[in-house]
Amino acid sequence: MTATAVIKENTYFDSVSLMSISTKANQIDGVDQAFVAMATEMNKGVLDNLDLLTPELAAAGNGDLMIVAVTGDGVDTDDVIAQIEGLLARKAPAGGEAKVSYRTISSAAQGEPGANLAVIAVNGAFAAREARKALENDLHVIMFSDNVDVADEIELKNLAHDKGLLMMGPDCGTAIINNVGLCFANAVRPGTIGIVAASGTGSQEVSVRIHALGGGISQLLGTGGRDLSAEVGGIMMIDGIRALAQDPKTEAIVLVSKPPAPEVEEKVLAEIAAAGKPVVVYFINGSEAAVTAAGGHFASSSQDAALQAVRLTAVPDAAVPELDHDRVAEVRGKLGSEQRFVRGLFCGGTLCDESMYALLDDGEEVFSNIQKDADFVLRAKDTSTGHTFLDFGDDEFTNGRPHPMIDPSLRLERLVQEAADPTVAAIVMDFVLGFGSHEDPVGVTLPAIAEAKRIAADAGRHLEIVGYVLGTDIDAPSLNEQVAALEAAGVTVTRSSTETGRFARAITRKDSRA
């Protein structure tokens, strides 16, 4: 094994690009491990934990780019580094178009006077500083960066509010502005439904369900996951509602969030009456009475939110398909008596939450053996017992690693591990398509699916794998291609994150209820 390190001084790439490049670098023949990142203290700490931090790397500055490749014996390391540098070079515009680079946001704003939006995707330690510069230059901000202090978030959002600008983030993973998808977003048809969301995959799920039902999206504004906390107070969601209320393209508004702080929920719902447009509210585990009293349309799931929004606008007779009860009965007949539990391995936090809640029926608590954390997502990094749902996009899994929507290697390992448990009836998974995601999330998972099924079959058991593909027919790769590949591998494919949990619940119940 050989470790090779290259430092490129004063060479900046944003974190989204580098996560994608690292994933592709790890697929180069002969590479056991590749790491391409800016030389921040956090990234150098990751290398130190991997015993890959050399004195030269430790001395690199924050503006320097690190390329580290661990290769097998006999591998041409010069060729490997050249291939990684080739991946970096491909980030330049295609077709010979001249690339214009600016060293600061201020110079970029002066050089591109028509621009009105800045995307911040730098290390969290510097993100607030750069966002402040963007706002001071009268630019709306989407902050993809996370690990930003909550005090900085509050200050930035108040500054944006005072200037009549939008401050989306920190940790804003998805947005669609005037039909342009940013960060992680799906290709959806233009339409008249606007979304304001404190959840990245939750907003993606609502947008693709709207598309599937025949509707379209006018705008999708992300707020960042902490916006509806008591500390932040829903500043961006309230400003987002007001912006969509004034947007002539938007006829109906959908709000999406995990459970907000009660006092913040009250403030947000108070905006519904003033919006002058129908507002559908999907707050996970939210209060129907509170939404209805405020004049909103309560949604019990992302699927329900999409359905109501579409019915309020273009397609009044839209409907969602029923659960496939014949398939439920078929799978039940294959399971042994001790196979009673579901293991959820998810890339999207909201998809994980929503599928898990759908596994709960009529207040019945089926998670008796595991303690739930404050976000109601079950996490067990090393071992599972009973029903376990894991969000591999959570900070504890992504610290120093690409997001699983880009690099699913940890999830693939866990899939094979869970297949060996004789009490497991089903493993449920999401596959997220869209801009910024892995170019073939199903294809990269198929070998692990085959291995998991082999392990169960060798033990004389049937293992049901349930997959949900979050995407549209105009995504690349297309939804239809990904679904066909899963079905060919013997995977049951569901049509929403809600249906994923309902199907898992139905096949593991002891009685006939679904």
Least confident of 96-100, 192-196, 254-258: 96-100
DSSP 374-442: TTS----SS---SSEEEETTSHHHHTTS--TTT--HHHHHHHHHHHT-TTEEEEEEEEE-SBTS-S-HH
According to DSSP, the residues that pair with 181 across neighbouring strands are: 176
Distance CA 143, CA 17 (A): 15
- Look-up: residue for tokens 């990904």? 482
**pLDDT exceeds 50 at position 375:** no
- pLDDT value for 96: 46
- pLDDT value for 393: 83
Q: Enter the tokens of residue 205.
A: 């799920």
> SS3 sequence, 474-506?
CCCCCHHHHHHHHHHCCCEEECCHHHHHHHHHH
**pLDDT exceeds 50 at position 65:** yes
Domains and CATH numbers, the chain: 2-89 (3.30.70.100), 105-312 (3.40.50.261), 325-508 (3.40.50.261)
Cβ neighbours of 318 (radius 10 Å) = 18
In 2-134, DSSP assigns E strands to 2-8, 31-38, 65-71, 117-120
- pLDDT value for 262: 94
Q: Calculate mean pLDDT across residues 219-243.
A: 97
Distance CA 454, CA 403 (A): 28
- pLDDT value for 91: 59
Comparing CA positions, the residue from 257, 264, 280, 254 lying closest to residue 198 is 257
pLDDT digits (tens, 9 = 90+) for 144-160: 988 899 999 999 999 99
pLDDT-derived band at 378, boundaries 50, 70, 90: very low
pLDDT-derived band at 372, boundaries 50, 70, 90: very low
Taking the model in full, what pTM does it have?
0.83
**pLDDT exceeds 60 at position 482:** yes
Q: Residue 413: CB partners within 8 Å, gap ≥ 6?
A: 448
- ∠ CA 159-161-162 to the nearest 5 degrees? 65
pLDDT digits (tens, 9 = 90+) for 85-137: 999 887 544 444 545 678 889 999 999 989 999 999 887 888 999 999 999 99
pLDDT digits (tens, 9 = 90+) for 21-63: 887 888 899 998 888 988 988 788 878 877 899 999 999 998 8
pLDDT digits (tens, 9 = 90+) for 407-459: 888 899 999 999 999 999 999 999 999 888 888 999 999 999 999 999 999 99
Distance CA 180, CA 188 (A): 10
Q: Calculate mean pLDDT across residues 471-484.
A: 94
Distance CA 155, CA 159 (A): 6
**Please, what is the average pLDDT of the chain?**
89
Distances from the Cα of 359 to the Cα of 238, 394, 412, angstroms: 32, 21, 23
Residue 208 · residue 471 · CB < 8 Å: yes
pLDDT-derived band at 267, boundaries 50, 70, 90: very high
Q: Calculate mean pLDDT across residues 369-385.
A: 46
**pLDDT exceeds 80 at position 76:** yes
Phi-psi sector, 249: left (phi>0), alpha (psi -120 to 50), beta: alpha
Residue 160 · residue 141 · CB < 8 Å: yes
The dihedral built from the CA positions of residue 185, 186, 189 and 191, taken in this order, carries a sign that is negative
Distance CA 35, CA 54 (A): 14
**pLDDT exceeds 90 at position 169:** yes
**pLDDT exceeds 90 at position 163:** yes
**pLDDT exceeds 70 at position 510:** no
What proportion of the chain, given as a percentage, has pLDDT over 70? Answer: 91
HSE-CB for 59 with a 13 A CA cutoff:
5
